[in-house]
Amino acid sequence: MTYVPDLTQSGPIKSVGYLARGYDYTEGETLEAVFDRLANLVLRDIAIHYFGYHHCDLGSCGLNQPQPELYWRDLVIPRHCSRDIVVPDKAVVYQAPSLILHYIRSHRYLPPSCFVEAVLNCPEPGSDEYLSAIERVAPELFGIPGHQVQ
């Protein structure tokens, strides 16, 4: 996956959680309520889909060593992804790899507080309110190949 520092883009779409070996990131504890909401976003399959997979290369994951499976409610948390989740807020839309679940659980990644707040206040994924919030702030996410919210 291409490294992108959190929140550095100009415009209404802000990236969060595009981590890579060799780059620092904030570590800490993420509230279980935030993790639950993120997991629901990932599981709802309302995301920007890409061709190919991105694998975690942080810590021991990047050393091709066997890793223990991590679980959330009896579901395996993947160590690779092919899609991003979208979290609307009032003036921005956050985009994060679904791999963010693994980064939080395995590598203690602590997302920025503005993203955490948006996750907790996010409308129900897939609802009209959710899709309208995205379209109001970042209509370019609709209808562009490779950047299509589905």
For residue 96, report the phi and psi dihedrals to the nearest 5 degrees.
-140, 145
Instruction: Parse the chain into domains and list their residue ranges.
Output: 13-141
pLDDT tens, 4-49?
899 999 999 999 999 999 999 999 999 999 999 998 888 776 656 5
Confidence of residue 69 (pLDDT cuts 50, 70, 90): confident
Q: Report the alpha-carbon angle 91-93-95, nearest 5.
A: 155
**Cα 48 from Cα 12, distance rounded (Å):** 16
Structure tokens at 102: 């693994």
Is pLDDT at 50 greater than 60 in this prediction? no
Going by pLDDT thresholds of 50, 70 and 90, the confidence category of residue 147 is very low
CA atoms of 72 and 150, how far apart (whole Å): 24
Q: Note whether 73 and 67 are within 8 A (CB).
A: no
89-93, 106-110, 126-130 — which is least confidently predicted?
126-130
**pTM for the predicted model, two decimal places:** 0.85
* Predicted local confidence at residue 29, as pLDDT: 96
pLDDT, residue 49, reads: 54
